[in-house]
Structures are given as C-alpha cells and as structure tokens.
Amino acid sequence: MTLSIAAQIAREYYDVKNYDMALRFFERISKTYRKEAWSNVLADILTISLKCALELNRVELVTEYSLELMSSSTTIRIVLSV
C-alpha cells in the first residue's frame, strides 16, 4: 500500500513536470519491485523513470533504464512520447 501511494505521489510530480522529485520517488520504489520480482509494475515505473531521465538529460539513467526494460526480467514496454 505504501509503495502504491508513493507511486501516485511520483506520478503527480511527473505530471507537474518536477522530473527530479518524480525520479527520486521512482528510484526508491523500483528497488522494492526489483527485489520482489514484480516485473509488470516495475516496467511501468521504469518507463516513467526513463521519461524523467530523458527530460533531465541524464544519459547514464536513460541507458540504465532502457537496458533494464529490454532485459528478459521485465516486460518490454517502452512508450516514449517526448
């Protein structure tokens, strides 16, 4: 439940274009989803994290999230509308 609320807060930050705060929330949330192997939820979080990283010009994170999304452990769902 806590992660769900944190994800909603992160999405609100994303919606108001506060990409740095959104990314901070998503990074914390994604650790648990990785550990618990919630690949579908993690794919959603990583997709939005990737969009934040793109907006912030964080090339290292764009690369990291892209590779993780393309890995076999997550559902491949890259939807970029930049």
Between the CA of residue 64 and those of 54, 57, 59, 61, 68, what are the distances in Å?
Answer: 12, 13, 9, 5, 6
CA dist 43 and 76 (Å) reads: 7
Question: pLDDT tens per residue, the chain (82 residues)?
Answer: 888 899 999 999 999 999 999 999 999 999 999 898 888 888 899 999 999 999 999 999 999 999 998 885 554 444 444 4
Residue 22: count of CB within 10 angstroms of its CB? 24
Does the structural domain 2-70 have CATH classification 1.10.3470? no
So what's the pLDDT on residue 41? 87
So what's the pLDDT on residue 73? 57
Q: What is this structure's pTM?
A: 0.82
